Amino acid sequence: MGHTQKMRVWRGDAAGGGFVDYDVPVEEGEVVLDAIHRLQATQANDLAVRWNCKAGKCGSCSAEINGKPRLMCMSRLSSYDPDETITVTPMRTFPVIRDLVTDVTFNYEKAREVPSFAPPSDNQGGKFRMNQLDVERSQEFRKCIECFLCQNTCHVVRDHEENKPNFAGPRFLIRYAELDMHPLDTVDRKNTAQEDAGLGYCNITKCCSEVCPENIHITDNGIIPLKERVVDVKYDPVVFIAKKIGLRKDSGRTPVGPAGGGPSPIKHPEKFADS
Amino acid sequence: MATQSAVTPGQRSTERAAISEKTLRTDRWWLLPLITFIGFSAFIVYSTWAAFANHPSQYYSDPYLSPFYSPCFVKGCPSDINWGSLDIHWRWLSPAIYILIFPLGFRATCYYYRKAYYRSFWLSPPACAVAEPHKSYTGETRFPLLVQNLHRYFWYFAVLLGGILTYDAVLAFMYKDAAGGRHFFLGVGTLLYVINAVLILGYTFGCHSCRHITAGRINNFSKHPVRYKWWSFVSWLNKHHIRWAWLSLVWIALVDLYVRLVATGHIHDYHHVFGAVSTAVGH
Ligand code: SF4
Ligand code: SF4
Ligand code: FES
Ligand code: FES
């Protein structure tokens, strides 16, 4: 059975905007994105909304519904009270382009700053062999659909615009973790993760994990293990001594980023583009 | 190749959607931080009081020694159970202080407790998608919060303390009579001690640093099957780390309270003392 859904949608662009109220007829079994589409088709033809798969897999329809960062296509109307007004806004951490569409360039720049996967030069006859057990941890992070809801929710940048140059955000911190845990990688990203990607800014308050639609354990399986790895190379005197006297083997990986003597790609994107 | 602008769109953005509300959440997002705040505050108040209510007749009742005072190694500890008689200079300082400082440091640097108190005490952030009140934020990038990185050192001490509290649970089965003879003993308190040891160990071994040490830091599990097994077990404990953290916190305070109530005669510890297993030799 359908009903009339009261909706409050943020309309506007970078110059300004505000909430507009609508009554939208909806059907049973629909999701918020359906309601937004009907609104666009019948009452607000110029409403801007980004979407693609309607199946929670493309990561395009990220928005905030009743203040919670969510995918619109995965938010069932039946999980709200039929009488309540559903408020929909664009993600609040990124520059707004129009209405519900934001400019997520920040994330693509952070992605480019992660030192890429560096397999061994001997390519083992064209076939790298890995044991499933060894790549399982990294694979969890490959489920990411790049919806950037975690990036949007993380208070480090959400509440502090000035931190954006210094902080890669949870989605990319798990990329650092993914590669650092990879059995075939040959570079060491621990120093650059801490110094350039701003791992230390994260205070493990877990909002990224809370909003991730893929249920990736961003904090427990990615960020915290990465923090522990960083302690090994930067803050643990016993590990330091153990390495000096040969009790702990060197990983054999080459440090990259400023630890490797190069410029920090993260604070100087223009230098990075030139190189 | 076109040079890229030094300023990213993200950096110059005051161009976010103009929304003035600190949050648009309509659920009771404040409930969890509030409960956490009340819970931790209650524990801090209670344990401070317990650390200063420090006459042996308050914290020891054969065979129960309050876990806040174990191991008892300063002058004035009941002779049955002391591990030493260190003469502390500041008499007013409770013997509990020397012990509590370690679990306190361990829990204060624990990844779960950090999350909990950053949210509920420091409001950074109070809840997800709720704006924090602070003007600037540097997280754990500098002193003093950089010290959180030493968590694993507190973990080493915590393992030691976990061992001692397990030993205490064993001692809670052992009653010493006035003549010094030992008896097998079973009381309500004994059970509380056993549960206490289990909870403390479950919390300690579910630690993220422990997870790192067992195998988390290596990249080829397949070559270290035993370490991988350990890691899997620690990961299993770690999944419920929050539960272990709370249960062990509440429980240790309850055990302390129980011992006090028994020691001061407010409640009766139902128990059975079995025949002597040894008599006082050389006492
Ligand atoms: S856990 Fe860290 S990265 Fe994730 S939202 Fe919180 S501060 Fe950001
Ligand atoms: S980690 Fe999760 S929340 Fe973050 S971008 Fe990937 S899928 Fe989205
Ligand atoms: S439309 Fe693809 S994730 Fe929602
Ligand atoms: S992470 Fe909680 S005790 Fe180490």
Task: Say yes or no for a CB contact (<8 Å) between B137 and A134.
Answer: no
- Of the candidate ranges A50-54, A108-112, A244-248, B204-208, the one whose mean pLDDT is the lowest: A244-248
Distance CA A62, CA A74 (A): 10
pLDDT digits (tens, 9 = 90+) for A164-194: 999 999 999 999 999 999 999 999 999 999 9
Distance CA A207, CA A212 (A): 9
Report if residue B4 sits inside a domain: no
pLDDT digits (tens, 9 = 90+) for B203-226: 999 999 999 999 999 999 999 999
pLDDT at A46: 97
What sign has the CA pseudo-torsion B260, B264, B270, B271?
A: positive
Q: Which domain holds residue B150?
A: 31-134+142-278
User: Where are the domains positioned within chain A?
Assistant: 3-102, 105-272
Distance A267 CA to ligand 2 centre (A): 23
Q: Which residue of B has its CA nearest to A197?
A: B141
The pTM (predicted TM-score) of the whole model is 0.92
Asked whether residue A275 carries a pLDDT value surpassing 50, the answer given is no
Report if residue B26 sits inside a domain: no
Q: To the nearest whole angstrom, how far is the Cα of B189 from the nearest Cα of chain A?
A: 36
pLDDT at B133: 94
Report if residue B189 sits inside a domain: yes
Residue identified by tokens 């949608």 is: A9
Task: Say yes or no for a CB contact (<8 Å) between A92 and B146.
Answer: no
From chain A, the residues in CB contact with B231 under 8 A are: none
Asked whether residue A121 carries a pLDDT value surpassing 90, the answer given is no
- From the number of C-beta atoms within 10 Å of its C-beta (0-12, 13-18, 19+), residue A125 rates as exposed
- The answer to whether residues B105 and B95 touch, using CB atoms and an 8 Å cutoff, is no
Ligand nearest to the CA of A142: 2
Structure tokens at A237: 């005197």
What residues form DSSP beta bridges with A22? A7
From chain A, the residues in CB contact with B125 under 8 A are: 155, 159, 205, 207
Distance CA A135, CA A128 (A): 12
User: Between 3.30.70.1060, 1.10.3720.10, 1.20.140.10, 1.10.1060.10, what CATH number should domain A105-272 receive?
Assistant: 1.10.1060.10
From chain B, the residues in CB contact with A269 under 8 A are: 4, 6, 8
Choose between A88 and B54: higher pLDDT: A88
Residue having the nearest C-alpha atom to atom 2 of ligand 1 = A202
Report if residue B20 sits inside a domain: no
pLDDT at A1: 78
Q: Chain-wide mean pLDDT for chain A? A: 91
Report if residue B3 sits inside a domain: no
From chain B, the residues in CB contact with A182 under 8 A are: 219
Residue having the nearest C-alpha atom to atom 1 of ligand 3 = A54
Is the previous residue joined to B63 through a cis bond, with omega within 30 degrees of 0? yes
Q: Which atom of ligand 4 is nearest to the CA of B208?
A: 1
Decide: B151 in ligand 4 pocket, CB within 6 A.
Answer: yes
- B20 φ/ψ angles, rounded to the nearest 5 degrees: -90, -20
From chain B, the residues in CB contact with A69 under 8 A are: 128-129
- How many structural domains does chain B have? 1
Distance CA A62, CA A69 (A): 7
List all residues of chain A from 244 to 273 with a beta carbon under 8 Å from chain B: 268-270, 272-273
Distance A116 CA to ligand 4 centre (A): 31
Among B152, B165, B164, residue whose Cα is nearest residue B110: B152
Distance B207 CA to ligand 2 centre (A): 25
The complex's ipTM?
Answer: 0.91
Q: Which of A70, A141, A147 to mutate to test the pocket of ligand 2 (most atoms within 8 A of CB)?
A: A147
- From the number of C-beta atoms within 10 Å of its C-beta (0-12, 13-18, 19+), residue B105 rates as middle
Determine the average pLDDT of the residues in A106-129. Answer: 86
List all residues of chain A from 146 to 205 with a beta carbon under 8 Å from chain B: 153, 155-156, 158-165, 180-183, 198, 200-205
Report if residue B72 sits inside a domain: yes
Report if residue B167 sits inside a domain: yes
Alpha helix (H) ranges present in chain B? 9-12, 31-52, 56-59, 95-109, 111-120, 151-171, 188-205, 208-211, 225-239, 241-263
Distance CA A43, CA B190 (A): 71
What residues form DSSP beta bridges with A86? A7
| Residue pairs between chains A and B whose CB atoms are closer than 8 Å | 183
Given CATH 3.40.630.40, say whether it is the number of domain A3-102.
no
pLDDT at B32: 97
- The answer to whether residues B234 and B206 touch, using CB atoms and an 8 Å cutoff, is yes
Distance A121 CA to ligand 1 centre (A): 35
Distance CA B269, CA B262 (A): 6
From chain A, the residues in CB contact with B152 under 8 A are: 228, 231, 236
- The answer to whether residues A270 and B9 touch, using CB atoms and an 8 Å cutoff, is no
pLDDT digits (tens, 9 = 90+) for B228-266: 999 999 999 999 999 999 999 999 999 999 999 999 999
Q: To the nearest whole angstrom, how far is the Cα of A234 from the nearest Cα of chain B?
A: 9
What residues form DSSP beta bridges with A6? A23
Ligand nearest to the CA of A57: 3
Q: Which of A110, A156, A171, A211 to mutate to test the pocket of ligand 1 (most atoms within 8 A of CB)?
A: A156
Distance CA B154, CA B94 (A): 21
Pocket of ligand 3 (CB under 6 A): A 51-54, 56-61, 71, 73
Q: To the nearest whole angstrom, how far is the Cα of B92 from the nearest Cα of chain A?
A: 35
pLDDT digits (tens, 9 = 90+) for B107-160: 999 999 999 999 999 999 999 999 999 999 999 999 999 999 999 999 999 999
Q: Which residue of A has its CA nearest to B124?
A: A155
pLDDT at B12: 41
User: Looking at beta carbons, which pairs linking A10-13 to residues 24 or more positions away fall under 8 Å?
Assistant: A10/A88, A10/A89, A10/A90, A10/A99, A10/A100, A10/B17, A10/B19, A11/A44, A11/A47, A11/A99, A12/A96, A12/A98, A12/A99, A12/B17, A12/B18, A13/A96, A13/A97, A13/A98, A13/A99
**Closest CB from A103, A155, A231 relative to B125:** A155
Asked whether residue A10 carries a pLDDT value surpassing 80, the answer given is yes
**Closest CB from B24, B111, B217 relative to A64:** B24
